[in-house]
Structure 1
Amino acid sequence: MSEALTLARPYARAAFAVARDSGNGAAWSQALAFAARLAADPQVHAVMSNPRLREQDAVTLLVADGASEEFKRFIAMLAENGRLVLLPEITALYEQLRAESEQVVMARITSASALPADELENLVAALRKRFGREVKVETAVDESLIGGAVIDAGDVVIDGSLRSKLQRLQSVLAN
Structure 2
Amino acid sequence: MTSQVAAAEIAQPYAQALLSIAQSKNLTEEIGEDARTLLSLLSENNQLQNFIGNPFIQSENKKAAIGRIFSESSNPYLRNFLLLLVDRRRIVFLEPILQQYLVLLRQLNQTVLAEVTSAVPLTEGQEQAVREKVIAITNARQVELETKVDGELIGGVIIKVGSQVIDASLRGQLRRLSLRLNQ
Q: TM over 0.5: same fold?
A: yes
CA RMSD in angstroms, aligned pairs only:
2.5
Structure 2 residue runs of 5 or longer lacking an equivalent are none
Residue correspondences, number:
175
Q: CA deviation at 1:19?
A: 0.7
- Alignment check: 8 A CA contact 1:32 1:87 kept: no
Q: CA deviation at 1:45?
A: 2.8
Separation in 1, partners of 2:76, 2:48: 22
* Correspondent of 1:46 among 42, 50, 59: 50
Separation in 1, partners of 2:89, 2:39: 15
Separation in 2, partners of 1:114, 1:124: 15
- Alignment check: 8 A CA contact 2:18 2:81 kept: yes
In structure 1, give the amino acid aligned to 2:146.
E
In structure 1, give the amino acid aligned to 2:104.
L
* Correspondent of 1:136 among 116, 127, 144: 144
- TM (norm. structure 1) is 0.82
In structure 2, give the amino acid aligned to 1:151.
I
Residue 119 (1) aligns with residue 126 (2): yes
Matched with 1:19 is 22
3-state DSSP class of the match of 1:65? coil
Worse-superposed segment, 151-160 or 163-172: 163-172
Cα shift readout 1:123-159 (whole Å, capped 9, x = no counterpart): 2222222222222323322111122211122333212
Matched with 1:35 is 38
Cα shift readout 1:77-117 (whole Å, capped 9, x = no counterpart): 21122222322222221111111111122212211123344
In structure 2, give the amino acid aligned to 1:53.
S
- Alignment check: 8 A CA contact 2:59 2:87 kept: no
Residue 149 (1) aligns with residue 152 (2): no
Structure 1 residue runs of 5 or longer lacking an equivalent are none
Separation in 2, partners of 1:83, 1:145: 40
